[in-house]
Amino acid sequence: MVAVAIDGPAGAGKSTLARRLAKHKGFIYVDTGALYRAIGLKMLRNNISCDDLKAVEQLLATTELDIRFIDGEQVVMLDNENVNGLIRTPEVSMMASDCSALPAVRAFLLDMQRNLAKRNSVVMDGRDIGTVVLPNAKVKIFLTASPLARAKRRFNELVEKGIKAELEEVLKDIEQRDYNDSHRAIAPLKQAEDATLVDTTELDLEQSFNLLLKTVDTLAGE
């Protein structure tokens, strides 16, 4: 089994590039951010704040979260509901960032992520895959781009989906998430010491993928 761990800040293109990389390599793609988003969605639906730790624990105790792979694509099932189309809004993104700092949430998802990597060759992306979830992964990438470049990409993504957005607000959200993710007490976002930096600020999608693929193949010894 081969594990490719891809970490990086919000909007760096991790999900898009990791999904394509997994398909190219014949690996299973695991979007760990989608799992946190699903928890964030349920918290929003139930009006639960990250400050109410008891309520969060009670919510997790009654949560069924599963990943299914249909035609090679990851489908996130939250309490038997396909929530893929509901977890990409700015509101859910911010709640996912906030709740991902909670030890109870991280513990809830950690075993699920590690078990997937034990059973399959995977491309897994998130904030702490190379540092915490899969510290022994053979291939570790830290994928990033400037905040403005990431905000523009996320803005275009939202517009294409018909979601009303303002670039300034998206940039503020990106910068706030960067701060939250890198300053949280539990598993903060940071580049693992043995991870390779891949910066796509000046690259388009195709160039970014080619650079990522070349880097992964080199690290994997292929």
| DSSP states of 172-215 | HHHHHHHHHHHH-SSS-----TTPEEEE-TT--HHHHHHHHHHH
Q: Which of 31-35, 68-72, 161-165 has the lowest mean pLDDT?
A: 68-72
Percent of the chain clearing pLDDT 70 (strictly above): 100
- The predicted pLDDT at position 221 comes to 84
- Name the token pair of 154: 């996320």
Beta-strand pair 196-199/139-144: parallel
- Name the token pair of 94: 């911010």
Going from N- to C-terminal start, the domains of the chain cover 3-216
Average confidence score pLDDT of the chain: 92
Question: Would you say residue 71 has pLDDT above 80?
Answer: no
The whole-angstrom separation of Cα 68 and Cα 60 is 19
The CATH class, in words, for 3-216 is alpha beta
Question: Would you say residue 72 has pLDDT above 70?
Answer: no
- Name the token pair of 96: 């996912």
Question: Would you say residue 191 has pLDDT above 90?
Answer: yes
* Region for residue 134 given its phi and psi (left: phi exceeds 0; alpha: psi -120 to 50; beta: otherwise): beta
Alpha carbon distance, N-terminus to C-terminus of the chain: 14
Question: Would you say residue 222 has pLDDT above 80?
Answer: no
Please work out, in degrees rounded to the nearest 5, the angle formed at the alpha carbon of residue 22 by the alpha carbons of 137 and 152. Answer: 100
Q: Has this prediction a pTM greater than 0.95?
A: no
Predicted confidence band of residue 150 (pLDDT cuts 50, 70, 90): very high
